[in-house]
Structure 1
Amino acid sequence: MLRARFLASMLAAGVAPWVRAEAAPLRFVYPRVNDQGEEAFGFQGLRLALQKWGRPFELLLAPTSTNYRRSLYQLETGEIDVIDMGTSRAFEARFQPVHLPVDRGLSGWRLLLVRAGMVPAFRAVHDLAGLARLRAGQGQDWPDTQLLLAAGLGVVSGSDLPTLFRQLQAGRFDYLPLGLNEIHGLLTQWQALAPDVVVEPDLALVYPFARLLFVRRGDGERHAAITEGLTRAFEDGSFNTLFAARHAGLAQARLAERRVLQIDNPGLSEATRAIPARYFIRP
């Protein structure tokens, strides 16, 4: 009797009971960090991965801008669902990583932002001992901080990128190392806060590193969706095509003309070290 009533109600509503309802789109909320939204490469790479996943999804930006530290809290509390950030053992214990590098390893190739008047001082730097006489700026909770300290380099922290640009302009520290894939764009974005700052022309700081997508611990559904889609995007070449289009200006880094200072990354997990070399590029 109950089954008959259920079938009758479904038919009255115009729904055939043998037709399976479509699954609701899986929702992903991505943070708006330092005023970067859809133009952030992490957002674009995530969108491509979800398109390659091939199932219904909804990708949204968080409504308000935040800083890096706050975005980590938002991920833990469920205000956002996914974030891309430089990885470390600590982050991989705290969040669930997708072990495919959305930066293709370029975040470990660092150029330096300096005040123009300090360029001669950096021209005299030829090794890590020379660089250790100067102070680096780093964001709070950036994983790079610990590896720079482990290499014997001095570090001054700031709450977010706008603060770091102001601190560099004011002489609170001497250089701000940023990935060669992002440094020119970030300087353009924040130049008004640091009018005397330029890209240092002679040095590159290099260490093993990767920027990964992370979800909350236990969020297996989103983790599986991103992993499946991003793997397909790498395998069919579409991710590399997107990456090349967004990083067409890498030649301006002039790496062949720079003195390269290499340091280790003791905070890199074994799982990250095990990512196959084909996912990385060497500029």
Structure 2
Amino acid sequence: MLKKLILLFVIFLSFSLNAQIKVIYPKVQERATDDYGYRILYLALTKSGVPFEISISKEIVNFDRARTQIKSGEVSVVDFGTSAEFESDFDAVYFPIDMGISGYRLFIINKTKADVFSKVKNIEDLKKLKAGQGQGWSDVKIIENAGVEVVTTPLFESLFKMVNGMRFDFFPLGMEEVYGFLEKYKDIAPNCIVEEKIIFQYPFARLFFVKKGNIELRDAIMKGLETAYADGSFQDLVNKNFKSSIEKAKLKNRIIIKVSNPNLTERFKKIPEKYFYKM
């Protein structure tokens, strides 16, 4: 009898372990392993009520490579700034994990250009200057659609070297990340500052994406995010990570240059407004 009970327990334990969702998150060069996206993912899975096991891939990759890894199944989920292309290639979790804050862009510039940017008042002025962005970023098409020339590179840290060397005029980054990244790369961009007069804004957000057909993981993440929002733990994590940067940005003192986002899908537009940040 005891042997039968032990056998049943082993079978049950094996079934329980196999029932776990196994999640592999990519190690993207633009982000640390303790990145906000990873923490939001962990929160969502915890709140989903679904057993899970999460790990981080060993290979450091850029966003283009992360997209390939999702398609091949090497990783399970990644968060991107959304685009129609991404939403077509993958199954999106339609919840803005950054509340759309990444659509509020500040500029890293060489400090010798500060006077030039002090004279920028609108998009027509900005069109006279050149932006830098990462290869494969969805922002590239948005900025180009606004009439601004964009220089791209596959290596994230190269963007700091290039703006420091004035290979282009400004490097737009989300206001939630710009100060942290400039501090991180200050040794290779010693002449750079965060421009103080402009905020470049467009409808945008970071979403989680999973491989096409991975409905179980997609739905678990969505359920967890909705639950975390309802109980306030999502907002707590947003504030913990972004509040100081938003305050430092001094938005009320800035000129807002708004442009459209031609990459927005009809499905994205249906995301409830309550999930988005408002100035």
TM-score (norm 2): 0.94
CA radius of gyration, larger in: 1
Code of the residue aligned with 1:75 in structure 2: it is I
Instruction: Tell me the CA shift for residue 134 of structure 1.
Output: 0.4
- Report the counterpart of residue 77 of structure 1 in structure 2: 72
1:16 paired to 2:11: no
**2: CA distance, partners of 1:226 / 1:138:** 29
1:280 paired to 2:276: yes
Summarize the alignment of residues 157-176 of structure 1 with structure 2, pairs less than 5 Å apart: 157-176=152-171
Q: Tell me the C-alpha RMSD between the 2 structures.
A: 1.8
Report the 3-state secondary structure (helix = DSSP H, G, I; strand = E; otherwise coil) of the residue aligned with 1:65.
Answer: strand
- Report the counterpart of residue 5 of structure 1 in structure 2: none
1:30 paired to 2:58: no
- Report the counterpart of residue 263 of structure 1 in structure 2: 259
Give the 3 Å change call, closer, same or farther, for CA 35–177 of structure 1 in structure 2.
closer
Paired residues, number? 275
Instruction: Tell me the CA shift for residue 273 of structure 1.
Output: 1.1
Code of the residue aligned with 2:53 in structure 1: it is E
Give the 3 Å change call, closer, same or farther, for CA 121–18 of structure 1 in structure 2.
closer
Summarize the alignment of residues 145-156 of structure 1 with structure 2, pairs less than 5 Å apart: 145-156=140-151
- Residues 30 and 156 in structure 2, CA contact (< 8 A), matched pair in contact too: no
Code of the residue aligned with 1:56 in structure 2: it is P
Q: Which consecutive residues of structure 1, in runs of 5 or more, have no partner in the other structure?
A: 1-7
Summarize the alignment of residues 108-187 of structure 1 with structure 2, pairs less than 5 Å apart: 108-187=103-182
Report the 3-state secondary structure (helix = DSSP H, G, I; strand = E; otherwise coil) of the residue aligned with 1:282.
Answer: coil
Instruction: Tell me the CA shift for residue 214 of structure 1.
Output: 0.4
**2: CA distance, partners of 1:17 / 1:177:** 56
**2: CA distance, partners of 1:178 / 1:159:** 16
**1: CA distance, partners of 2:260 / 2:58:** 38
**2: CA distance, partners of 1:224 / 1:49:** 10
Summarize the alignment of residues 52-71 of structure 1 with structure 2, pairs less than 5 Å apart: 52-71=47-66
**1: CA distance, partners of 2:43 / 2:9:** 35
Code of the residue aligned with 2:105 in structure 1: it is R
- Residues 102 and 206 in structure 2, CA contact (< 8 A), matched pair in contact too: yes
- Report the counterpart of residue 93 of structure 1 in structure 2: 88
- Residues 35 and 65 in structure 1, CA contact (< 8 A), matched pair in contact too: no
**1: CA distance, partners of 2:21 / 2:158:** 35
Give the 3 Å change call, closer, same or farther, for CA 122–69 of structure 1 in structure 2.
same
Q: Over residues 43-72 of structure 1, what are the superposed CA-to-partner deviations in whole Å (9 max), with x where a residue is unaligned?
A: 000000000012221111111221111111
Instruction: Tell me the CA shift for residue 239 of structure 1.
Output: 0.4
1:243 paired to 2:235: no
Instruction: Tell me the CA shift for residue 23 of structure 1.
Output: 4.4
- Residues 139 and 158 in structure 1, CA contact (< 8 A), matched pair in contact too: yes
Code of the residue aligned with 1:167 in structure 2: it is M
Code of the residue aligned with 2:100 in structure 1: it is G
**2: CA distance, partners of 1:101 / 1:41:** 13
- Report the counterpart of residue 252 of structure 1 in structure 2: 248
- Residues 138 and 176 in structure 1, CA contact (< 8 A), matched pair in contact too: yes
Report the 3-state secondary structure (helix = DSSP H, G, I; strand = E; otherwise coil) of the residue aligned with 1:191.
Answer: coil
**2: CA distance, partners of 1:221 / 1:57:** 11
**1: CA distance, partners of 2:10 / 2:164:** 67
- Report the counterpart of residue 217 of structure 2 in structure 1: 222
Report the 3-state secondary structure (helix = DSSP H, G, I; strand = E; otherwise coil) of the residue aligned with 2:16.
Answer: coil
Instruction: Tell me the CA shift for residue 15 of structure 1.
Output: 1.6
Identity %: 35
**2: CA distance, partners of 1:84 / 1:208:** 17
**2: CA distance, partners of 1:112 / 1:251:** 16
- Report the counterpart of residue 210 of structure 1 in structure 2: 205
**2: CA distance, partners of 1:151 / 1:26:** 42
- Residues 131 and 171 in structure 2, CA contact (< 8 A), matched pair in contact too: yes
Q: Which consecutive residues of structure 2, in runs of 5 or more, have no partner in the other structure?
A: none
Code of the residue aligned with 1:14 in structure 2: it is I
**2: CA distance, partners of 1:111 / 1:35:** 17
Instruction: Tell me the CA shift for residue 14 of structure 1.
Output: 2.4
**2: CA distance, partners of 1:246 / 1:267:** 27
Give the 3 Å change call, closer, same or farther, for CA 140–17 of structure 1 in structure 2.
closer
**2: CA distance, partners of 1:75 / 1:18:** 33
